[in-house]
Amino acid sequence: MNKWIEIFKAGEHTDSKGRKRVWTKEDLAKTVSSYNPAKHEAPAVIGHPKSNGPAFGWVEALKCVGESLMAKLKQVQPDFSEMIEAGLYKKRSASFYPDGSLRHIGFLGAQPPAIKGLKDIEFNEGEECHEYEEPITKEKDMDELAKLKAQLEKAQTALKEANDKADKFEKKATTATASFEESQQAAKKKDVADFIEAGIRDGKILPAWKDQGLAEFMTALEENEGQYEFSEGKEQTPAAFFRDFLEGFSAHPLFKEMAKPADEKTAADTEYEEAEKLADEIAAYVATDSE
């Protein structure tokens, strides 16, 4: 376990006996400069033993990083190191002598490993010290909670924005789809109407059929896009089949007569008009001769 770990940080802290103290960066720097393993090698222990208990490692050196006090451990028991790496001892606290020098580092959060042959360390039970367990972990927890809250709010904002965009896109897509369907329907109706008018002009469709709903019937057939085999070897939609059926009609004179435009004159109309004109001329002549 050859890495630096944070064990304490500057700020106002309350020790295990309820005593408050403000630790400055200068105080931490003094703790670092005063640490001499030759005089007192601070052990890494589990919890805060009052008298003696096994040491699972030793503090090789201290340093300051910003407002944090960092420690580098040595001779860490392998099993204990694995438990730390596995996250079984996420919380740790520091114990200081009244002069601010480091007494020991306590790891918190799990039962100690069953390691045989560890050398016990002894503390004087009445020895004055300041143990800080919760403040640093609480501050860390609050920092982590604040970060998680910020991340959650950011995620919620992003989710809301994504949902809003999805709603807008859905509305646009729905509107576009409806508009496209309307234009398609209008195009189908126009195509059917043009087909019927052409059939009437060609004498293949009676105008009465149009009045009786032929256009609506053919438009409804256009909705069925399935292919059917109406004649051997030829598959068609119902609409295509019906169009071919109507176009297969021969132009009938009766159809042409009924489909005649209002301004188109037949031979009979011309003869009638000429006879009527001649009758008018005869009547005028007779009236003049009588006078």
The DSSP code for 53 is E
What is the Cα Rg of the chain in Å? 51
**Stated pTM of the model:** 0.40
* CA neighbor of 203 nearest in space, from 263, 251, 261: 251
In three state form, how does the secondary structure of 58-73 look? Answer: EEEEEEEECCEEEEEE
pLDDT at 253: 62
Stretches where the chain sits below pLDDT 50 are: 113-127, 134-137, 259, 290
For residue 65, which amino acid is it? V
Delimit the domains of the chain by residue range: 4-132, 195-290
Going by C-beta distance under 8 Å and a sequence separation of 6 or more, which residues neighbour residue 4? 63, 65, 70, 71, 72
pLDDT at 63: 93
The answer to whether the beta carbons of residues 64 and 32 sit under 8 Å apart is yes
Both tokens of residue 193? 């109407």
218: number of Cβ within 10 Å = 21
For residue 76, which amino acid is it? V
pLDDT at 257: 54
